[in-house]
A and B are shown apart, each in its own frame.
Chain A
Amino acid sequence: MNASVNNSPLIAVEDLHTYYGKSHILHGVTLHVGPGEVVGLLGRNGVGKSTTLKTIMGLVRPIEGSVRLGGQPITGLASHKLARLGIGYVPEDRRIFRLLTVMENLRTGLDRQGVTDARKQELLDKVFTYFPVLAERRNQAGGTLSGGEQQMLAIARAMMLEPKIILLDEPTEGLMPRMVSQIRNIVEVLHRDNVAILLVEQNVPLTLETSDRVYIMEKGAVRHHAAARDLKVDDAIIHQYLGV
């Protein structure tokens, strides 16, 4: 454990135990993400990375352990409340509302209380600048978009919530290289805007490049924790846990 520990983490996950039915998936996950920090979560398939994100998002209830947002306990809160508190979620399979248009998909996050029309327009302009293709297809049904476009829409949709943190689950899975670099750009933009990101990825180089710190999971728990730049130098650890 050679990474610097932030004094007041935005998200602090403590000893999380989660079950699906009878199978014990998370065996005491502990991690934290500081404000505006990009944190990578690496590990082989099935070690519980996605489940960690789902548990933070309130989609799965932990049996034990706690999640705090800005110091406040949020364990077990309904996910719509967590979304309003500033947690954005971009799931692994994107889960675009397929029969809703691009614009309607964005409106699911935009039509909140206390957002002025001017602010709504600003938020839309912002994502349309980064993802011009979404502006072109604003009246097209989400289900008709390509995989990469759906990924952009999923990220843009989460950005509509003006989140403090985005839980980003395998955003580059199955995308063409050109799309991957667009995803990398948007992660950097969010980073500049001081939005924290907890990034689950199979793409190790991308994760090491974009993240400040990295956690490596194995069998439902965090086994290793390091600054991304240290792992770039020393790939023995990557090799040991991920076999790449």
Chain B
Amino acid sequence: MELTAILYAIPWDQILIQTVNGIVTGMILALIASGLTLIFGIMDVVNFAHGELFMLGAYIGVVVLATTGNFWLALLIATLVVALLGAAIQIATLRPLLGRDPLTTILATFGVSLILQNYALWQFGPVARKIQEPFTGHFTLFYLEYPWYRIMIAGLSAAIIGGFWLFLKYGKYGIWIRATTQDREMAQAMGIPVPLVHTAAFALGAGMAAASGVLFGPLVGVNHTMGLDWVLKAFIVVVVGGMGNLGGSIAAAIFISLLEAYASIWVSPAQAVIVSFIVLILTLLFRPTGLFVPTPK
């Protein structure tokens, strides 16, 4: 009798809806965090400008969409442009600092993030822009009209991450990236052009951040501070998943997004963010190398 009462009290429909929501945000977050963890793993650089690369990707998406009207073209161009910008940023600010105290690279990337944020404010103004989603179909999920576009974001993010994983696993340059991540000096002694690999990895991470910016643009609106929330979450995910551990970051992104989604059934979404911080603190206390897999070097 009591058990059935409890079962009735559980809002199953809401839980299912929030599961879908959690997976959608989780995949976007995983896309941002993959780049962040790749960059940290290979260069020991905590990229504080990552959120601004995400934001800039969204703005470039806005501009290209306004001129061409093609969402997919906007996605492609934003990814490529921000990847190139990432390469330039890496060469200009991080390459000279390689091997220095981590604090110097934190300051450098933080500086870059301020510049990019203020550039966006100056260029586009404080009013949020909108990216029109490429299609507007819905399907019925209990009492909700759930947009197909959200499902597509999750699928596309998963496809990009999957492609990235295959590239790391089987590609010649993927092997170069992994070898450099494990032992920079030995990789170089094997003839791998490590400075170039660093630049390419940064560009790759930047491109993935930009892609997630364009994909996520239709859901939240684009403004110059949109990177802040996401990069903060991405940092949490990277720490919880184990610094530099790609698989762990992806798992942590989905895990934390699901927790936040479930929490927002009972508390407001703004309060649900607290869940992420609780997970972060617990991880740092009890599993400082990451929640999912131990990270051997």
Contacts and interface: CB of A to CB of B under 8 A. Distances in A.
Interface of A: 57, 59, 78-80, 82-84, 89, 91, 95, 97-100, 104, 107-109, 111-112, 143, 157, 161
A59 B189 contact: yes
B186 interface: yes
A104 B175 CA distance: 7
A82 B193 CA distance: 11
Contacts of A161: 190-191
A59 B190 contact: no
B106 interface: no
22 contacts: A59-B188, A59-B189, A78-B188, A79-B189, A80-B191, A82-B189, A83-B189, A91-B189, A95-B185, A95-B186, A97-B178, A97-B179, A97-B182, A98-B297, A104-B175, A107-B172, A108-B175, A108-B176, A108-B179, A112-B191, A161-B190, A161-B191
A57 B175 contact: no
Give the interface residue-count category, chain B: 20 to 34
A107 B192 CA distance: 11
B185 A59 contact: yes
Interface of B: 172, 175-176, 178-179, 182-183, 185-195, 296-297
Contacts of A109: 190-191
B192 A100 contact: no
A83 B191 contact: yes
A108 B192 contact: yes
Given A95-B186, A98-B182, A112-B191, 11 more contacts: A59-B188, A79-B185, A79-B189, A80-B188, A83-B191, A91-B186, A91-B189, A97-B182, A97-B183, A108-B175, A108-B191
Contacts of A80: 188-194
Contacts of A89: 189
